[in-house]
Structure 1
Amino acid sequence: MEREDLVLEESSRVALITLAAGEESPWHHHSAVTEQVVCVSGKITLNLAQSSMPVILSSGQRHQILPGVKHSLSNSEGIASTYLLVQQGAYDFVPSSS
């Protein structure tokens, strides 16, 4: 995973993240952070614990993840995929199982 932090403030973060082919972030949630995931290139799959159907984002599409929602992001493409992550709220990262 390649991450470029564009904004790092106490109550907001913006990062450009690239997932290699087949790469997946660990399952986690945030206690007080709302996230906007915007696909920049390739396809990004959002796996949400409360849903049996993943959300697949193509370039230009976005999805909001509310606080407390367990999720992971993955790239099932054969090439790298990039997304913009916009987080609002007091940041925390709580690892969890799916």
Structure 2
Amino acid sequence: MEAYRIKDSQIVAQAEGLRVIDQTLAPGECVPWHLHPDTDDYIICLRGVVEIRELNPAKVTTLKAAQRYRVLKRQPHTTINTSAEDCEILIVQGPGPIDSRTVPGVAR
């Protein structure tokens, strides 16, 4: 996946077939559309509000603090902070080979 800029992104744990990422998105920031061919994403909202958008079928899920959601492997998705405050999410990827692929040509 191509590099992108958000307020903060840190890998907090990583092992064969598993990665945990702590991300903070400022208002209006997003992670570009992407998918994971071999792993699910477990997204846990730690603070604020995050919107998870998916394709095929189109779906929008809004998470608040202490809520979680699973994006299935091969499912194109993006995460967006649509609120006026920072949001922080924890992403658990795995089990399986960790890989991300950009989904080109998709607007927010």
Q: Same fold (TM over 0.5)?
A: yes
Provide the aligned C-alpha RMSD in A.
1.1
Residue 94 of structure 1, aligned match among 73, 92, 101: 101
Unaligned stretches of 5+ in structure 2?
1-5
Quote how far apart the aligned CAs of 1:51 are: 3.7
Give the letter aligned to residue 90 of structure 1: P
TM-score, scaled relative to structure 1? 0.94
Quote how far apart the aligned CAs of 1:53 are: 3.7
Unaligned stretches of 5+ in structure 1?
none
Alignment pair present for 1:55 and 2:61: yes
Alignment pair present for 1:39 and 2:42: no
Moved over 3 A (4+): none
Number of residue pairs aligned between Structure 1 and Structure 2: 98
* Percent identity between the two aligned chains: 26
1:27 aligns to what? 33
CA distance in structure 2 between the aligned counterparts of 1:52 and 1:72, rounded to whole angstroms: 12
CA distance in structure 2 between the aligned counterparts of 1:82 and 1:6, rounded to whole angstroms: 13
2:3 aligns to what? none
CA distance in structure 1 between the aligned counterparts of 2:93 and 2:59, rounded to whole angstroms: 23
TM-score, scaled relative to structure 2? 0.86
